[in-house]
Structure 1
Amino acid sequence: MSAAVGKTAVDTVVWDFGAVLFRWRPRVLLAASLPSRVKDDISAAHWHEQFFQSFGGDWAEFDRGTVEVDDLAGRIARRTGLTEAEALAVIEAVPHELQPLVDTVGLVHALHERGVRQFYLSNMPAPYADHLEREYAFVRDFEDGLFSGRVQLIKPDAAIFALAEQRFGLVPERTVFIDDHPKNVEAARARGWQAVLATQHAAIHQGLDELGLLG
């Protein structure tokens, strides 16, 4: 499908990683890491909120790169009543949960073959970023990228989008951002980017197709 008449042509895609290009199932992760505490949907929901704090609080500081792993484990233990060993078990299990999502990674390859500029903008602590770069060759299909833990900025703060614009040489109206969190999508749109809310692979494919990037 070609881009709609009268719209600025999009030639750049900026990807989020977790739950977009990599599997992210925090409740499954918690159940596997804390089997004595997570026994059903109710306890899974409880520990999801307690541990990750809606990806705010301690975890946001980990994402931002201002808290190290051992300190994070201690903070979570003191705040939740988990032992430090239990908190550390969850933290250390995250890289194994972050497995590539084959369908959306296929879109990265397809866009790469078409010569579309591609970047990533991910809330990702530095230890996990190191793991993903080391383990998955497709990351090299991106022209460049920003991990929050390396620049000490996180989405949806406007500052990390401004840094991406400067570092990647983005033209906002020619850029589409793909992310699974509505607040991050809203933040991108507030800067004049186009954006796709990644609720599932079909939504990503449809959004890219409607912008004329796949056909």
Structure 2
Amino acid sequence: MSRPEAVVFDIGNVLIQWQPERFYDTIMAPADRVRMFAEIDLHAMNEAVDAGAPFRDTIYDWAARHPEWTDKIRLWHDNWLDMASPAIPQSVRLLRALKARGVPVFALTNFGDDTFAHAAPHYPFLAEFDRLYVSGRLKVTKPDPRIYAIVEEDCGIAPDRLLFADDRAENIEAAQRRGWQVHHFDGPAGFAARLVALGLLNEKEAS
């Protein structure tokens, strides 16, 4: 397998924890949270934002359509940073170690344009990517093949020289079908080991 020329990071659950259910379990009875998520496809609501829909208007519109849960759904907007937290420290160190080595680092993320702008001041490393591919800006989300094609065309690197880390199997499978090297992220330790095995970092840099 060829040595990657660039490393492509997903953001949610790779660099920043994204666990809406966990947040709601802290502010309501878990049984009520389970019922709310069963009755309302809140992840579909979020996917609309990731695809380019306006953040506040989308959340508040869904909230208005579900009077029993209106106040709770609005928290998806009003307390969004409590859901998108904390950062995953070792993953951030890996990003910075790759940059220090001169390895180009890209982000390919399902993220709303508004929510990314909201997150950026709180997570300075989001400004450290060499190239940034945000679904809400591109109006297309993973695992649609078009978003991977956009990356390939923009960066000019052959697919087999891109290493992509994502926590969702369907996203890495879509990249793999295009010839990308992939890593199914289930924690920073495994990704660190992969980067060492590929010769992109040494063990000290990856620790």
Moved more, 167-176 or 177-186: 167-176
**Identity level (%):** 28
Contact 1:30 1:48 in 2 (8 A): no
* TM-superposition CA deviations, 1:107-135 (whole Å, max 9, x none): 01111111101000110111210022223
2:75 pairs with 1:89: yes
TM-score (norm 1): 0.84
Q: Match of 1:101, as an amino acid?
A: I
Name the CA distance, whole Å, in 1 between partners of 2:200 and 2:101.
8
Contact 2:49 2:136 in 1 (8 A): yes
The within-5 A match list for 1:22-171 is 22-33=16-27, 35=28, 39-40=29-30, 42-53=31-42, 55=43, 57-78=44-65, 80-98=66-84, 99-171=86-158
TM-score (norm 2): 0.87
* TM-superposition CA deviations, 1:62-104 (whole Å, max 9, x none): 11013442233322552x5544332111232222332321111
Q: What SS is found at the alignment partner of 1:149?
A: helix
Deviation at 1:52, TM superposition (A): 4.7
Change (3 A) 1:104 1:149: same
In structure 2, what is the equivalent of residue 8 of structure 1?
Answer: 2
Q: What SS is found at the alignment partner of 1:199?
A: coil
Name the CA distance, whole Å, in 1 between partners of 2:93 and 2:135.
24
Q: Match of 2:79, as an amino acid?
A: A
Name the CA distance, whole Å, in 2 between partners of 1:22 and 1:30.
17
> Number of residues paired by the alignment?
201
* Unaligned residue ranges in structure 2 (runs of 5+): 203-207
